[in-house]
Amino acid sequence: MQDSELIIKIEKIEELLEQLKLDLKEREKLTNLERTDNQNKVSVGDWVEIKNPKKGQETEGKVVKKSSLTGYVTVEAKGSKKKITRLSKNLKKVEGRK
């Protein structure tokens, strides 16, 4: 083998290695998103606590709508029929209540 052939093969291997690194980083991002999603797993009908209520808003309510595309959840307030929209990360599921 000539030196030029070896250099070309090494460059191809480096390109493949770089692509594998990018694929691995993408998988790690997806895994981190799945972990976050599993921690904030709320379903329609679940009772949740609102971590960041605005002044005058209830701190608990029932999930009435969930968007898997945007991550927003609509909660019907406990004391009234007012609807509150929050990201799922700003809600905490209340266990033992349906």
Residue whose pair of structure tokens reads 């921690």 in the numeric block: 39
Predicted confidence pLDDT, tens digits, the chain (98 residues): 688 899 999 999 999 999 988 888 887 776 666 555 545 578 898 899 999 989 988 899 999 998 877 889 999 988 788 999 999 889 988 887 76
Domain range annotation of the chain: 1-39, 47-93
Entry pTM: 0.57
E strand map for the chain: 47-50, 60-66, 72-77, 83-87, 91-93
Starting from the edge strand earliest in sequence, which strands make up the sheet with 91-93, in order? 83-87, 72-77, 60-66, 47-50, 91-93
Which residues does residue 77 pair with via DSSP β-bridges, in sequence order?
A: 61
Name 65's bridge partners: 74
